[in-house]
Amino acid sequence: MASWLEALDRRAQLRAKAGLTRRLRPRGATDPVVDLAGNDYLGLAHHPAVTVAATEALRTYGLGATGSRLVRGSTDLHSALERALADWFGATRALVYSSGYLANLGAVRALVRPRTLLVSDAHNHASLIDGCRLSGAQTVVTPHADVAAVEEALAAAPGRPAVVVTESVFSVDGDLAPLARLHEVARRHGALLLVDDAHAVGVRGPGGAGAVVEAGLAGAPDVVITATLSKALGGAGGVVAGPAELIRHLVETGRTFIYDTALPPAVAAGVLAAVELARDGDALREELADRAAAAVRHLGRAGLDVSTPAAAVVSVTAPGPEAAAAWAADCLDWGVAVGCFRPPSTPDTRSRLRLTVNVGVPRAEFDRALDVIVECAP
């Protein structure tokens, strides 16, 4: 009767032996830890304009959306947020989801037709990987940021509908995809380009509009943008932006949109306020870039293997999964929270700490946190 529980327990033991145990660590509202693990890059989650907008919407609309977007979940706040995001990204229309994960699942599935070929970067986020798998389409996984490999995959399938799937700033190492070159190759072969701009929105591009805008691809009819609203915008939810025909298709057929309860109106209001702050946040972006560069210098001088960040994600290689977990735990003991990425969260089986620069952290605390990371290094 309990054999399935025994099987689960055995698998947990194997994960523990491999150093892959994961645990929930609840934090309080007044957590004193220096946060270099969360994704609040611009420090907007606690900005007064954001919290006031969310509080007023909470008072007006109540706690939840009370239904899916097509039933009772759509409010004027959702519509205003979609208009603001479309304008920011230079897209015709945008559609807001309750999470970035669901936005990616929905976008990939919507672009698949009979015989579609998906060409997916090896370092893509799990949501894109799952989107490709669940779509049922043939998927070719190409080496990371390898434009020649993408072209080879497309050339091997002449006449077939195809979609090139990539992040802009990759979530593990924080490097930037060659978007302009990928688009050139995709267009030459009649393929679409789907870009998850989650880690670039608010951080890169004019007015923080993201890497797609920065690459000069805004409004291109063969480019689809997805993003989460939970990183530089400090909120929650996801978005798909692109041609009006795509958004209509998602509204009418997208299962992850149709059958999901809508983003709470208070969150939509807070994110809408955050968009306005981010668009006018050049000083925040300058400070973020300065801190990211300082982290690379400081950690590199200590002999650590550190990535060159394209935005706010700094990756530091660890000797292995157990060492990475111990390193992160030691940092936390000294009051510094860092991300700990181990297989299967890493696409190359390499374990690392992931530091996310947050300009809401006082600069002195940020600099001290870098010292702690060096001191705790295995």
Q: Tell me: the pLDDT tens digits for 324-338?
A: 999 999 999 999 999
Same domain, 210 and 334: no
Same domain, 216 and 297: no
- Measured between alpha carbons, how far is 38 from 25 in angstroms, rounded to an integer? 13
Does residue 323 lie in a domain region? yes
- Measured between alpha carbons, how far is 76 from 15 in angstroms, rounded to an integer? 47
Tell me, what's the pLDDT at 229?
98
Same domain, 258 and 364: no
Same domain, 159 and 196: yes
Position 241 pLDDT exceeds 80: yes
Does residue 159 lie in a domain region? yes
Same domain, 165 and 273: yes
pLDDT tens digit sequence for 92-149: 999 999 999 999 999 999 999 999 999 999 999 999 999 999 999 999 999 999 999 9
Tell me, what's the pLDDT at 197?
98
Average pLDDT for 160-168: 98
Tell me, what's the pLDDT at 312?
96
pTM value is 0.95
The domain of 273 spans 48-279
Of 279, 313, 342, the last residue of a domain is 279
Same domain, 221 and 197: yes
Tell me, what's the pLDDT at 172?
87
Same domain, 53 and 85: yes
Does residue 22 lie in a domain region? no
Tell me, what's the pLDDT at 22?
85
Same domain, 288 and 255: no
Tell me, what's the pLDDT at 81?
98
pLDDT tens digit sequence for 30-68: 889 999 999 999 999 999 999 999 999 999 999 999 999
Of 262, 279, 296, the last residue of a domain is 279
Task: Order across the sheet with 223-228: list the strands.
Answer: 93-97, 238-242, 223-228, 192-196, 162-167, 117-121, 138-142
Tell me, what's the pLDDT at 347?
78
Of 279, 296, 312, the last residue of a domain is 279
Phi and psi of 231, rounded to 5°? -105, -100
Does residue 9 lie in a domain region? no
Tell me, what's the pLDDT at 136?
96
Question: Which is it for strands 238-242 and 313-317: parallel, antiparallel or unpaired?
Answer: unpaired
Same domain, 243 and 362: no
Tell me, what's the pLDDT at 25?
86
Average pLDDT for 190-217: 98
Q: Which residues are registered as beta bridge partners of 193?
A: 164, 223
Position 2 pLDDT exceeds 80: no
Average pLDDT for 358-367: 96
Q: Where are the alpha helices (DSSP H) in 203-356?
A: 211-214, 244-253, 255-258, 265-279, 282-301, 321-333
Q: What is the DSSP letter of 207?
A: G
Q: How far is CA 43 from CA 97, 227, 232, in A?
A: 22, 18, 8
Burial class, 77, CB count within 10 angstroms (exposed 0-12 / middle 13-18 / buried 19+):
buried
- Measured between alpha carbons, how far is 140 from 135 in angstroms, rounded to an integer? 13
- Measured between alpha carbons, how far is 150 from 140 in angstroms, rounded to an integer? 9
In percent, the amount of the chain with pLDDT more than 90 equals 92
CATH number of the domain where residue 36 is located: 3.90.1150.10
Residue 62's CB is within 10 A of a number of other CB atoms, namely 12
Same domain, 248 and 313: no
Q: Are 274 and 44 in contact (CB under 8 A)?
A: yes
Does residue 225 lie in a domain region? yes
Does residue 11 lie in a domain region? no
pLDDT tens digit sequence for 303-325: 999 999 999 999 999 999 999 99
Position 181 pLDDT exceeds 80: yes
Does residue 333 lie in a domain region? yes
* Counts of helices then strands in the chain (DSSP H, E): 14, 11
Residue 184's CB is within 10 A of a number of other CB atoms, namely 13
Q: Which residues are registered as beta bridge partners of 119?
A: 140, 164
Does residue 240 lie in a domain region? yes
The single-letter code of the amino acid at 250 is L
Instruction: Please state the domain count of the chain.
Output: 2
**Confidence band of 1 (pLDDT split at 50, 70, 90):** low
CATH number of the domain where residue 228 is located: 3.40.640.10
Same domain, 355 and 252: no
